[in-house]
Structure 1
């Protein structure tokens, strides 16, 4: 199938040796594509051969890639989806490296959608979404432990998948265009589902997130990726604002790439006008302090004036004394 090249080890040993000896990469890829075609389009017997030595969950409800009952085979090298003994999807554990168990709102009994996908979000068509309720695992797999089907499936996938989320941080009902769905916020992802195509937005690819079209009851969220691609989600209840804003704040603080980008923007912006003015003022020469000289001059003038007045008073006193003697 597209996006999957089965391991050459699936071929008989003689063919494996011949394929390994091929040096031309185009020819080697052609061989792998042919194997992939027969691996997914072969008759019923081949589907059963593929799931030998696999842990198989039978009759699980599936909504992506098709709304059918499906068998899920978990092998050491890959995941296989079978519908009526025909392989309809499969991929290795590099392709399926993200699993998220997300609650489905407004159901009469607890229900979850288990998303099995590629963490880059670049191949949404390959995503698998299974719907599970809170029932015992032994209805779907032989020799099951006494746990729910949800817990059993997650435990089976955990050894092979890079990231497994048992539940989201929060989830809200939103619209994207005319599509109504659930927007789930995980620790490092935002997922919108559950109709085709499933939208997976890794935090590492998010450039910024903003709130728009705020009304009395609802608001919108616009997520802009580093590629410039935009995703707008609308009709979000105000009741969800604080939780979403807390998620955004926490993730931005923890995501180093976003923090570095903000610091780089701040450095490129340069100092503020106030900072520039303070810097300019600090470089001016210090003004000379003339207060002491002014005080000294004022003191000398005062002394000279007072001295003149004293001499004049003594002369007047002498004249008066002479007149009295005469």
Structure 2
């Protein structure tokens, strides 16, 4: 997908999350249609902005009149006069809007998290009761340590279909960047990292009775085998991948798998995963296909070095390996299995406790070895053996003697030389 801004699509289809997902899916499959969808979205936005003669009650509204535009936030959260428990000025948001705002945490079951503009208006918000998960993930390949906080609402995972019974579209995820303090910005006695902010979010989630906590990556779940060149000795918790034409990072977490950080985000909780399979296994990369009730989500160009860690994660959480499912076999027929030393854990094993992918690689390797043996057998003419072993006349023995000179060591191994000497005597 081109790197151009697609905010027109998000705005034009903000009230129809399912249709918006289908548009992004179509763009991923055919990036050339990006401009067409943008033009359609701009046309829709122009129609909305034009004054019409219909009563105001019939006009399509993008917000609820209070300024909170993320999922029709209402109540105390949308009321800017309701005092926040904690305030963070100058937070850099990337979703649902890309700008710096004041982030406020409002306590209680009717509270939530919201972005407030410089004029005091609530730009967006998500109630705590609508929060599915909150993640705090390191942003890879940054010179300075930065972390991405993601507040994922129910039905806002970017993969599964939105239930028909919902009267309004679910809110978009809220994403912002936290940059660790360095040098003179470090306050003595305070943690410069994201943990204090995560603790504040945990406090509000607990007070709202959600039983949720901020999810952070862990080496016990997944750690990349690829060293970070810009930060030697530091553990990387991501695996590089592509979804369609979009590049991003896969995080294998305690509640599911997340792909970020570009829009649309994709979060696949364990409950939504039907099976996981590996396809297009090459010498240096492979693809990961995650099947869900709604669709199959494929992540490509994953480094082979991360296979062992990913496969251990799949086995730990007992996610079904469907690599040899009938629908996948056609993709694997013409794949040349790499040599064992290049497979980094995907090579053939002894068959005990191996995954379907490992079994497939082993069987293909054994088949190649059998074919090589057959080729060697074809080079040997079995007729020579029958002629030399027989008790025929002298001419047959002389013919066998000539064949022995042709095959060299093979004839000597079979004892043909001794037999010929006996005839001469």
What TM-score, normalized to structure 1?
A: 0.59
Name the SS of the counterpart of 1:180 in structure 2: strand
Summarize deviations over 1:172-219 as a string: whole Å, max 9, x none.
Answer: 111001101111111111111111111111111100000001111100
User: Which of 126, 136, 161 does residue 172 from structure 2 map onto?
Assistant: 126
Question: Would you say 1:166 and 2:216 are equivalent positions?
Answer: yes
C-alpha separation between the residues in 1 aligned to 2:62 and 2:148? 33
Q: Which position in structure 2 is the counterpart of 1:155?
A: 199
C-alpha change, 1:195 and 1:125, in structure 2 (3 Å) is: farther
Unaligned runs of 5+ in 2: 1-13, 17-57, 70-76, 163-168, 206-211, 223-237, 322-425
Question: Would you say 1:61 and 2:92 are equivalent positions?
Answer: yes
Conserved in 2, the CA contact under 8 Å of 1:219 and 1:237? Answer: yes
Conserved in 2, the CA contact under 8 Å of 1:54 and 1:74? Answer: yes
Q: Which position in structure 2 is the counterpart of 1:218?
A: 285
Please report how far the alpha carbon of residue 149 of structure 1 lies from its aligned counterpart in structure 2 after TM superposition: 5.3
C-alpha separation between the residues in 1 aligned to 2:80 and 2:172? 22
User: Which of 52, 67, 70 does residue 101 from structure 2 map onto?
Assistant: 70
Q: Which position in structure 2 is the counterpart of 1:234?
A: 300
C-alpha separation between the residues in 1 aligned to 2:89 and 2:192? 14
Please report how far the alpha carbon of residue 222 of structure 1 lies from its aligned counterpart in structure 2 after TM superposition: 0.4
Summarize deviations over 1:128-162 as a string: whole Å, max 9, x none.
Answer: 111112217x979xx99722251221011002331
Name the SS of the counterpart of 2:317 in structure 1: helix
Name the SS of the counterpart of 1:157 in structure 2: helix
Structure having the higher Rg = 1
Higher fraction of strand = 1
Q: Which position in structure 1 is the counterpart of 2:315?
A: 249
Count of residue pairs the alignment pairs up: 219
C-alpha separation between the residues in 1 aligned to 2:306 and 2:63? 49
Conserved in 1, the CA contact under 8 Å of 2:133 and 2:153? Answer: yes
Q: Which position in structure 2 is the counterpart of 1:185?
A: 252
Q: Which position in structure 1 is the counterpart of 2:143?
A: 108
Where has structure 1 moved over 4 Å in runs of 4 or more?
122-125
Please report how far the alpha carbon of residue 47 of structure 1 lies from its aligned counterpart in structure 2 after TM superposition: 8.0
Conserved in 1, the CA contact under 8 Å of 2:66 and 2:122? Answer: no
Summarize deviations over 1:87-107 as a string: whole Å, max 9, x none.
Answer: 221121121241111111111
Please report how far the alpha carbon of residue 39 of structure 1 lies from its aligned counterpart in structure 2 after TM superposition: 4.9
